[in-house]
Structure 1
Amino acid sequence: MLAAETRLRLFRAGFATIAATRADRWLAPAAQGLGLILTFHHVRPEAPGPYAPNRLLAITPDFLDRVLATLRRRGFDLIDLDAVPGRLRRPGRRPFAVLTFDDGYRDNLEHARPVLRRHGAPWALFVTADYAAGTGRLWWVELERAIGRLDRVRAPEIGLDLPARGAAQKGAAFAQLYRLLRAGPEERLLAVIARLSGEAGLDPTAITRELCLGWDELRALAEDADVTIGAHTLTHPMLAKHGPETARREIAESRAVIAARLGRVPQHFSYPVGDPTSAGPRDFALAAEAGFSTAVTTRPGHLFAEHAGHLHALPRVSVNGCFQSEAALTALLSGVPFLAWNRGRRLNVA
């Protein structure tokens, strides 16, 4: 937990330094690409409590409003994903921004959509088929809620036995368990969290039905001309941890299921988790093979002309709930933090 808090402090200090030195202005010509794709998850007004390890995935509607106002003020064109390949090949005079929301959460409809409509902003929603069916597992939410109910977290599968009384101990237990489970096979991760959920008296599918939009809601949302529905696999696996046939099925069949359910074929794909440990060149090729026009990762960075040749490995910029500040936002839009993060590289597709 201390390591996580240290990282947060370092990021905040970095954003503050960029703002204080106005590096977001004078370094932007070297750092800012032709545009960027922003990543969102939850949008909800409730403030997180003292124990909220997944708070990085949630921003408030007010901050979403600030994001959109700042984009307009800084001269970004708000475009949809269909327009990205053309803008990479034939850049406009202004930078562009694309708004994407992963997983298919109900709060995107209830709290994000009114803000997006007010700004006339197009947006994309990447849907996990099993979440829409109410049968999938939001395992990171399960883990948070299970630890929230338990006074002790025992995971003999990975040699952990941790106290979990009070917010600090619960946060530390979540951080340690999450790190160790993510580093191993996904089957073990799901099994350990399922057992802890059972001990805590949780129903995983009830959590999914509570938080995610169902097919009927998605069918109505898909009629909105400002909304692009994309695919986010069948079950939300970390694809790189699985064999090629599993990865191919998760990618291709999610496209077919969404097309059958919503009456339109999704043209865009988002890799679950999306970092290099979760999606790599094999998966980029599978997304192209499945017929998607673009596919997005969570590898951080802006978009440059070179990305026109890598449309199935597009980077994104995460709007992180831990950094809902003007300093963080302007730094991210400038591209300056990614000069160091990507060591000066424009492309990160290996």
Structure 2
Amino acid sequence: MYHSVGDASDDPYRITVTPDRLDAQLGWLRRRGLRGVSVAALLAARARGEDRGLVGLTFDDGYADFVEHALPVLRRRGCGATLFVLPGRLGGDNAWDPLGPRKRLLTSEGIRQAAAEGIEIGSHGLTHADLTTAGATALTSETAGSRLLLTELTGTAPAGFCYPYGAVDRRAADAVREAGYAYACAIDPGPLTGPYALPRVHVGQRDTAVRMLLKTRLHRLRRRPSQGV
């Protein structure tokens, strides 16, 4: 689970990795016979029993620096990824983060560029709202509404959804499923783990080779395998 790729000098939420660090982390994967792919590609390969050696890579929030900094690294390392964007904040910024610098979000053109280069585009909701506290109307807009907007923007209905803040409960997961998504990503969903609450591991600027190794091993111990995917 990645977010922003750029200057990490002012990063109170630890959501940013530099392009060089991303390159080193993906290089670490490749040297171990692993290749980063989109979540949709990973799930499809798993269904065929062909997911050995594949790692799902996700980038949350749809920061503009994805096109400038992340895409070239992914291309160089032969990796794919899923980019979760906010169609209700196109060209805006990370207004939901009270601390740290304002980070620009992708415009519709930037999202189309990423899609044209083979990046899977998924929804992160409309506005980065916590679905576990959203009212009925807002819940529908954030899930079904964002899917409709992304379908119009890219010409393809998104298969994946990502819960803002990683916050998910049964009501939110049901709304995502009813909106027509095939899967959804969380962070550490516990008993809800499954196709609509896939667990992920946060990767940040401080994650060197040793920390990456520890995270891959601890992930298997801390999170039970997803069922039905």
Match of residue 12 from structure 2: 53
- In structure 2, the gaps of 5 or more residues are none
Q: Indicate conservation of the 8 Å contact 2:131/2:164, yes or no.
A: yes
Letter matched to residue 139 of structure 2: A
- When normalised by structure 1's length, the TM-score is 0.59
Q: 2:50 aligns with which of 92, 105, 117?
A: 92
Higher-RCO chain (CA-CA 8 Å, sequence separation at least 6)? 1
Q: Indicate conservation of the 8 Å contact 1:59/1:324, yes or no.
A: no
After superposition, the C-alpha distances for 1:238-275 in whole angstroms (9 at most, x for unaligned) are 1101233321221110000111122221111111011x
SS at match of 1:103: coil
SS at match of 1:229: strand
Change (3 A) 1:58 1:47: closer
Change (3 A) 1:314 1:244: same
Q: CA deviation at 1:137?
A: 5.0
Match of residue 280 from structure 1: 169
Kindly report which structure 2 residues correspond to 1:166-205, keeping only aligned pairs within 5 A, or say none. none
After superposition, the C-alpha distances for 1:172-217 in whole angstroms (9 at most, x for unaligned) are xxxxxxxxxxxxxxxxxxxxxxxxxxxxxxxxxxx4xx61111122
Kindly report which structure 2 residues correspond to 1:1-350, keeping only aligned pairs within 5 A, or say none. 39-44=1-6, 46-49=7-10, 52-54=11-13, 56-92=14-50, 94-134=52-92, 138-140=95-97, 142-144=98-100, 207=102, 211-224=104-117, 226-274=118-166, 278-299=167-188, 310-321=194-205, 323-333=206-216, 335-336=217-218, 339=221, 341-342=222-223, 345-346=224-225
Change (3 A) 1:47 1:100: closer
Q: Indicate conservation of the 8 Å contact 1:43/1:112, yes or no.
A: yes
Q: Indicate conservation of the 8 Å contact 2:94/2:105, yes or no.
A: no
Give the structure with higher Rg (CA). Answer: 1
Give the Cα separation in 2 of the matches to 1:215 and 1:254: 13
Q: CA deviation at 1:219?
A: 2.1
SS at match of 1:269: strand
Give the Cα separation in 2 of the matches to 1:118 and 1:324: 20
Letter matched to residue 96 of structure 2: W
Q: Indicate conservation of the 8 Å contact 1:300/1:318, yes or no.
A: no
After superposition, the C-alpha distances for 1:284-326 in whole angstroms (9 at most, x for unaligned) are 111111111111011179xxxxx7xx211111111023x2311
Q: Indicate conservation of the 8 Å contact 1:68/1:119, yes or no.
A: yes
Q: Indicate conservation of the 8 Å contact 2:140/2:175, yes or no.
A: yes
Letter matched to residue 21 of structure 2: F
Q: Indicate conservation of the 8 Å contact 1:104/1:131, yes or no.
A: no
The percentage of counterpart residues that share the same residue type is 34
Q: CA deviation at 1:53?
A: 1.5
Q: CA deviation at 1:84?
A: 2.9
- When normalised by structure 2's length, the TM-score is 0.88
* Alignment length (residue pairs): 226
SS at match of 2:186: strand
Letter matched to residue 139 of structure 1: W
Q: Indicate conservation of the 8 Å contact 1:300/1:317, yes or no.
A: no
SS at match of 1:246: helix
